[in-house]
């Protein structure tokens, strides 16, 4: 299924206070130069994430490990073992809250657990703290066999995790040096756990390659990624709308909003120059229909400093009919 973007309601011709036709036409004329600058930067190797969909060797690291792992694969944590066909659950420790860590370790069967330790630098404080806690329990239970329950995803040459991998023979997969951590989802950071869960990672990367090709044109109207980015930039710089809300109404897309926030905020937040009063708009994740009954009221009646982008699935995997009951109740 192809991603489509409908930006009608970002333009002044459709809504009051939208991007003017003059600004939109000027952006289309100027975009070829911007696209050329991005391509020149890409040629230096500085934008390694753009080449990930076609990196077959990196993809093979994940699929080869997943094929040989002493685990089965599939589905999600809410299903029973029988419903999952024996494939593993995935737990993500993305915080250092001691209660969460202790509760997870208390209910895991360490004999059947595999821990993926992920750090681009190989020394992220939060990741290493979690690793040391887990490693202590694995050592106590399995001794030298602890390494059989670990795999590292880190820099190919440098960092503490890479050093430990070399010294102890722990399997270690690569995050390319020219790919920033926040852009690493199509490296083993994301592809390895996906492969372990039975996701068709070749199809996943093919979809990414297709979208990358669509975004590799200097014609703004034909470049969906650029259309979104340019309109948000114009909304910020010409309309004073510096809060950009991404609002999925489909539950499988909720994490996309969180990922958008990280990519947008962390990228812009790294580039403030001395004396610069600010570096760009602020992203915000909002979830329909939950936040429709909380935040949206403020979006509509509060300060007009926001844009809202709704995202949804083109087709849902199931249809749940609503019965025609209580017809006598007005």
Domains and their CATH numbers in the chain: 8-45+217-311 (3.40.50.10490), 48-206 (3.40.50.10490)
Average the pLDDT over 256-275 and give the result: 84
* Whether the Cβ atoms of residue 178 and residue 45 lie closer than 8 Å to each other: yes
pLDDT given at position 278: 72
pLDDT 10s digits, 9-48: 999 989 999 999 999 999 999 999 999 999 999 999 999 9
Average the pLDDT over 150-171 and give the result: 97
Percent of the chain having pLDDT more than 70? 92
The strand pairing partners of 115, in sequence order, are 150
pLDDT given at position 81: 53
pLDDT 10s digits, 134-145: 999 999 999 999
Least confident among 59-68, 188-197, 237-246, 299-308: 59-68
Average the pLDDT over 200-207 and give the result: 94
Supply φ then ψ for residue 2, to 5 degrees: -90, 140
Q: What is the average pLDDT score of the chain?
A: 91
* Whether the Cβ atoms of residue 246 and residue 260 lie closer than 8 Å to each other: yes
Neighbour count for residue 234 (Cβ, 10 Å): 21
Q: Which residues contact 83 (CB under 8 A, 6 or more apart)?
A: 75
pLDDT given at position 86: 58
Specify the DSSP element, H or E, that contains 153.
strand 150-154
pLDDT 10s digits, 49-72: 999 999 999 999 999 988 765 444
The strand pairing partners of 152, in sequence order, are 117, 172
Average the pLDDT over 218-229 and give the result: 97
Percent of the chain having pLDDT more than 90? 81
* Whether the Cβ atoms of residue 19 and residue 238 lie closer than 8 Å to each other: yes
pLDDT given at position 279: 75
Neighbour count for residue 206 (Cβ, 10 Å): 13
* Whether the Cβ atoms of residue 316 and residue 248 lie closer than 8 Å to each other: no
Tokens of 244: 């950009």
Neighbour count for residue 146 (Cβ, 10 Å): 20
pLDDT given at position 330: 86
Tokens of 157: 């040459």
């Amino acid at each position: 299924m192809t991603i489509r973007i409908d930006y009608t309601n970002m333009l002044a011709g459709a809504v009051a206070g939208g991007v003017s036709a003059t600004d939109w036409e000027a952006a289309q004329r100027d975009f070829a130069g911007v696209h050329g600058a991005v391509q020149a930067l890409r040629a230096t190797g500085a934008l390694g994430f753009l080449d990930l969909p076609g990196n077959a060797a990196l993809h093979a690291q994940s699929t080869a490990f997943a094929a040989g792992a002493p685990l089965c694969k599939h589905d999600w944590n809410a299903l029973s073992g029988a419903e999952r066909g024996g494939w593993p659950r995935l737990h993500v420790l993305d915080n250092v809250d001691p209660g969460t860590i202790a509760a997870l370790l208390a209910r895991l069967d360490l004999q059947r657990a595999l821990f993926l330790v992920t750090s681009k630098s190989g020394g992220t404080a939060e990741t290493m703290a979690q690793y040391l806690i887990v490693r202590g329990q694995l050592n106590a239970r399995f001794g030298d066999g602890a390494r059989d329950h670990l795999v590292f995803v880190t820099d190919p040459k440098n960092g503490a995790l890479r050093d430990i991998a070399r010294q102890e023979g722990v399997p270690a997969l690569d995050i390319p040096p020219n790919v920033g951590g926040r852009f690493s989802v199509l490296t083993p950071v994301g592809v390895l756990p996906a492969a372990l869960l039975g996701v068709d990672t070749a199809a996943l990367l093919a979809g990414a390659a297709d979208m990358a090709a669509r975004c590799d044109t200097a014609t703004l109207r034909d470049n969906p990624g650029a259309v979104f980015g340019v309109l948000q930039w114009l909304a910020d710089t010409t309309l004073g709308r510096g809060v950009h809300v991404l609002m999925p109404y489909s539950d499988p897309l909720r994490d996309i909003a969180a990922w958008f926030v990280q990519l947008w905020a962390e990228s812009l937040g790294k580039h403030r120059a001395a004396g610069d009063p600010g570096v760009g708009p602020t992203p915000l994740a909002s979830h329909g229909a939950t936040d429709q009954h909380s935040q949206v009221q403020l979006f509509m009646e509060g300060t007009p400093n926001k844009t809202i982008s709704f995202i949804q699935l083109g087709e849902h995997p199931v249809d749940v009919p609503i019965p025609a009951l209580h017809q006598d109740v007005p």
